[in-house]
Amino acid sequence: MLSPRVVRPQPHDGTASAGSSSSRRHMVDRVSEWELGLPSAAELTPVSQALIPPALAAAFGIGPADALSSPVDTGFLHDSPTSHLTSRFDEYDEEDEEEGEGETDDAAAGARRGGGGGKKARMVWTPELHHRFVEAVEHLGEKGAVPKAIVRLMNVDGLTRENVASHLQKYRLYLKRSSPGAAAPSPPPPPFFPRFDVQRPHQDSANRSGYCAYPYVSYQKLGCD
């Protein structure tokens, strides 16, 4: 029992910014920022009001929020591949938002390529990111859950409308599949993320860190708008 607080190995990138500056962090302020991104209170989903408050605030209790204009710097982190199954759009369990660790956006490194040409790195929808996406969708409601609004609410730097649109498409398909199916064809109602862990015929014993799969990315597109 007990929630596995997973100890993340942390992406020790080469640039060890000695002494990460985790100084003062406001937790509540984060919520304010969220509201800022809201669409002029056009239509606050009437159904979910309790979706934002405490849990989220707690989750949002991170980030520098200082000089950076980046609102939610999703440094994208993923925890252990074996122990986190947070993808229930039904309810939240525990949300692990990424830490403001890094400014080290290796992302830029991955996405940005010498100069001019650029190749776009494949977007990596990590569970946390996806969770955020889902929450945005839920809050907007089926009606207003359009890419643009979602992107706005997520406020993830680098995330484009296309990215969300694509993911949204899949997300909707998944929902549709599960809804009418009444009889629950599949025993375990898969949240959404089909392929993430599963695939572990190995009996892990020690921490042989076998996990180097890492993101190639984070995305960073300065200059939002």
Partner DNA sequence: ACCGAAATAT
Partner DNA sequence: AATATTTCGG
Q: Which residues bind DNA (CB under 7 A)?
A: 120-125, 146-149, 161-163, 165-170, 172, 193-195
Q: Which is nearer to DNA, 113 or 148 (CB)?
A: 148
- Cβ atoms 82, 51 nearer than 8 A: no
Of 206 and 213, the one with the shorter C-beta distance to DNA is: 213
Of 161, 75, 167, which Cα lies nearest the Cα of 130?
167
CB of 2 to DNA, least distance (A): 29
Instruction: Please state the closest distance from residue 61 (CB atom) to DNA, in A.
Output: 27
CB nearer to DNA: pick between 108 and 121: 121
| Residue 106: Cβ within 10 Å count | 20
CB atoms within 10 A of CB 76: 24
Closer by beta carbon to DNA, 65 or else 129: 129
- Residue 121 contacts residue 216 (beta carbons within 8 Å): yes
CB of 84 to DNA, least distance (A): 16
* Rounded Cα gap, residues 4 and 100, in angstroms: 21
Q: What distance in Å separates the CA atoms of residue 51 and residue 60, rounded to the nearest whole number?
A: 13
| Residue 58 · residue 107 · CB < 8 Å | no
Q: 72 phi and psi, to 5 degrees? A: -120, 95
* Interatomic CA distance for residues 60 and 26, integer angstroms: 9
Closest contact distance (angstroms) between CB of 145 and DNA is 7
- Minimum Å distance from CB 54 to DNA? 29
Nearer to DNA, 44 or 58 (CB): 44
Q: Please, what is the minimum distance in Å from the beta carbon of residue 99 to DNA?
A: 22
Give the CA angle between residues 43, 46, 50 to the nearest 5°.
115
- When the beta carbons of 26 and 161 are compared against DNA, the nearer one is 161
